[in-house]
Amino acid sequence: MSETIQTLLTEERSFEPSAEFATQANVNDPEIYNQALADPVAFWEGWAKKLDWMKPWDRALEWKAPNVKWFLGGKLNACFNCVDRNLQTRADKVAILWEGEPGDVRKITYRQLKDEVSRTANALKSLGVGKGDRVCIYMPMVPELAFTMLACARIGAAHSVVFGGFSAESLFDRINDAQAKVVVTTDGGWRRGGVVPLKKAVDDAIVMGCPTVESVIVLERTGVPGALTNGLPTPGYDRSGWTEGRDHWWHDLVPHQSPDCPCEEMDSEDLLFILYTSGSTGKPKGIVHTTGGYLTGVYATFQWVFDHKEDDIFWCTADCGWVTGHSYVVYGPLANGATVVMYEGAPDTPDKDRFWRLIERHKITILYTAPTAIRAFMKWGDEFPDRCDLSSLRLLGSVGEPINPEAWIWYLQKIGGGRCPVVDTWWQTETGHMLITPLPGLTATKPGSATRPFPGIRATVFNDMGEDLLASRKPGETVGGYLVLTHPWPGMTRGIWGDPKRFADVYWSRFADTYFTGDGAKVDGDGYFWLLGRVDDVMLVAGHNISTMEVESALVDHPAVAEAAVIGKTHELKGQAISAFVLLRAGYSGSDGLVDELKAHVAKKIGAIARPDDVIISAELPKTRSGKIMRRLLRDVAEGRALGDTTTLADPAVVNALKDKYESAEG
């Protein structure tokens, strides 16, 4: 890591908020930073008071690392705060403005949302789901996905949303880890004009053995004839896996339920959801979030970072399979009574201007997307945004990975017309909500920097010895190290589902009483944070966390593979692309056919997002004397750099041979 940290900061451009934006901004008084820093607990209590509680809390914070509790004794319901309480003032305001990939549009008001969510909640109850149960959701971005999440919250069940791009095997792991009682899915989802067969994957997962699953609810999305598919052929649904008694069509079960369903009284610390994220040791981690603190954090950050106003049309392009979709498609926007846009499909269907058409059509005012998408848009060319009217936009956000300054400037100028502030927001599944981010009416932004910790957040960088480099630096000096958080915040994860030991090891063992993010960061003389990516073995591919171990395990699962080492190499569009080095078992020989087969095997085991870009068949892997694979050297090979220090290698010749082989394969 030291190499990266010593890179000089070369970006010196800085953009002050315009006076016009600053005067109307939700927050424009710099004093709030000092106030919040002096008493973060009082600051967060102030936000929590803006939510609707059935019973107020007795104590704001109980903290003994790694265990944290916020708003102890308080009772509330997250669904009530996102849905019912908006009925007083915005019953007829559009809550969810949805567009399907084929072009169908639905506008669901808060009043309709309350009815839809209540019916869904009653349907879940009719299948025996109650407080404390887990429901697995495996759906494309359709409104019913949000209804189901909120329905779970309404009756006190926890949801575990699994991204629809994951394979049956990944789904199987996640269903079993969470011990889900019900799975909610669709027959399929639209993606680039084709259909992703989701129910088929659920059937396959259950055949592998999911003893806790009692029922499956299936929304018909792609099998419907006629208008909905905009002239595309209707694929019909493969019913071979349909199991009577277990499987229920959504349209048979949900619509005739009562539109009234009481909101369960939940303790502030009751489980709201589990969301799986990759870990560096293979098995995905079920990140646990509870009710009161999480909702407070997403409510506050949504309002201040996006400067949300009553008439905004907010679009977060993330899928609800990721934390960004949980916090800024569902809970944050709806708790603020916002109109949130949900889009089902791909950004290049039917053409590469789809996002810009959406903005034009729905007069979207705030856009929140990822650097991987921005880089793809840049590559596709300016003609696509140029032919659309983007003048409704007033604020742009970025999340998921470091955004390179070129992409940041392009986003500001081409999409934001030079007038929209850009907020680059750093956070994690584990943090629940944004932690390092500009406040758009207040913070001068620098392209490529997530700027400063949100008020009330104490972030700093430590060296290997656990020394706080910000505390000891000379004024104006740039320091770099491990990004850590030294004070609890409300939305922080309460643990890894069923694995407290792993939770303590991964986040709390490196530094005492301090949350270790796994990211490296530099802090410049102005106190601005520049994120450097993961310091462990988690890759960030197109904004998705994928562990090297997970991909290695999938490769080794193939009969031809003896051993595999996987690295993320820098990639222009995706941030990182996956390169795999594999050793074959005796009796197998390398061929293009085998390489393709191995790529397909990984995609099948984990999902298409984990498909390696290259698979290099090699004779040996570079290892230390203690037998550890030196991925750092493989990264040098894959990125065409001079090899770093090879003195700890058991056999330095191995890596040179690999380098020759890689270069000839790349041609």
Binding site for ligand 6R9 (CB under 6 A): 277, 322-324, 399-402, 424-429, 450, 517-519, 531, 533-534, 540, 545
| Preceding omega of 225 cis (within 30 degrees of 0) | no
CB nearer to ligand 6R9: give 159 or 221: 159
Sign of CA dihedral 62, 299, 290, 503: negative
Minimum distance, C-beta of residue 585 to ligand 6R9, in the bound complex (Å) = 34
CB nearer to ligand 6R9: give 506 or 658: 506
Q: Compute the C-alpha angle 451/547/432, nearest 5°.
A: 45
Collapse the DSSP code of 323 into the 3-class scheme (helix H, G, I; strand E, B; otherwise coil) and give the result: helix
CB nearer to ligand 6R9: give 21 or 507: 507
Q: Supply the DSSP symbol for 269.
A: T
CB nearer to ligand 6R9: give 61 or 329: 329
Minimum distance, C-beta of residue 515 to ligand 6R9, in the bound complex (Å) = 12
Minimum distance, C-beta of residue 430 to ligand 6R9, in the bound complex (Å) = 7
Kindly compute the dihedral angle of the four CA atoms of residues 171, 173, 174, 178, in this order, to the nearest 10 degrees: 140
Q: Rounded to whole angstroms, how far apart are CA atoms 83 and 87?
A: 7
CB nearer to ligand 6R9: give 434 or 598: 434
From residue 132, give the alpha-carbon distance in Å to each of 159, 180, 204, 212. 10, 11, 26, 14
Residues in the chain: 667
Q: Please, are residues 532 and 480 in contact by the beta-carbon 8 Å criterion?
A: yes
What residues are paired with 479 via a beta bridge? 523
Max Cα–Cα distance, the chain, nearest Å: 72
CB nearer to ligand 6R9: give 515 or 662: 515
Q: Please, are residues 97 and 89 in contact by the beta-carbon 8 Å criterion?
A: no
SS3 content of the chain, % helix, strand, coil (to 5): 35, 25, 40
Q: Rounded to whole angstroms, how far apart are CA atoms 136 and 314?
A: 27
CB nearer to ligand 6R9: give 268 or 372: 372
CB nearer to ligand 6R9: give 573 or 643: 573
Q: Provide the terminal-to-terminal Cα distance of the chain, rounded to the nearest Å.
A: 30
CB nearer to ligand 6R9: give 215 or 425: 425
Q: Rounded to whole angstroms, how far apart are CA atoms 88 and 217?
A: 32
Where residue 532 falls (left for φ over 0; alpha for ψ -120 to 50; beta otherwise) is alpha
Minimum distance, C-beta of residue 337 to ligand 6R9, in the bound complex (Å) = 23
Instruction: State the amino acid at position 402 in one-letter form.
Output: P
Minimum distance, C-beta of residue 175 to ligand 6R9, in the bound complex (Å) = 20
From residue 2, give the alpha-carbon distance in Å to each of 7, 464, 482, 489. 9, 10, 10, 29
Q: Rounded to whole angstroms, how far apart are CA atoms 16 and 13?
A: 10
CB nearer to ligand 6R9: give 68 or 370: 370
Q: Please, are residues 152 and 135 in contact by the beta-carbon 8 Å criterion?
A: yes
Query: For the purposes of burial, counting CB atoms within 10 Å of the CB of 163, is it exposed (0-12), middle (13-18) or buried (19 or more)?
Result: buried
Minimum distance, C-beta of residue 287 to ligand 6R9, in the bound complex (Å) = 8
Minimum distance, C-beta of residue 437 to ligand 6R9, in the bound complex (Å) = 8
Minimum distance, C-beta of residue 277 to ligand 6R9, in the bound complex (Å) = 5
Q: Rounded to whole angstroms, how far apart are CA atoms 146 and 139?
A: 10
CB nearer to ligand 6R9: give 26 or 280: 280
Q: Rounded to whole angstroms, how far apart are CA atoms 338 and 409?
A: 28
From residue 165, give the alpha-carbon distance in Å to each of 24, 321, 611. 40, 9, 12
CB nearer to ligand 6R9: give 188 or 518: 518
Q: Which two structure tokens, joined as six digits, stand for 637?
A: 């090979």
- Could you tell me which of 95, 127, 129, 134 has the C-alpha nearest to residue 112? 95
Q: Rounded to whole angstroms, how far apart are CA atoms 362 and 365?
A: 9
Beta strands 544-547 and 561-571: pairing type? Answer: unpaired
Cβ within 8 Å of residue 607, ≥6 positions away? 163, 165, 166, 167, 170
Minimum distance, C-beta of residue 614 to ligand 6R9, in the bound complex (Å) = 23
CB nearer to ligand 6R9: give 123 or 329: 329
CB nearer to ligand 6R9: give 157 or 323: 323
CB nearer to ligand 6R9: give 297 or 518: 518
Collapse the DSSP code of 282 into the 3-class scheme (helix H, G, I; strand E, B; otherwise coil) and give the result: strand
CB nearer to ligand 6R9: give 540 or 633: 540
Alpha helices in 77-232 (DSSP H): 78-82, 87-90, 110-126, 143-155, 168-178, 198-209
Q: Please, are residues 14 and 447 in contact by the beta-carbon 8 Å criterion?
A: no
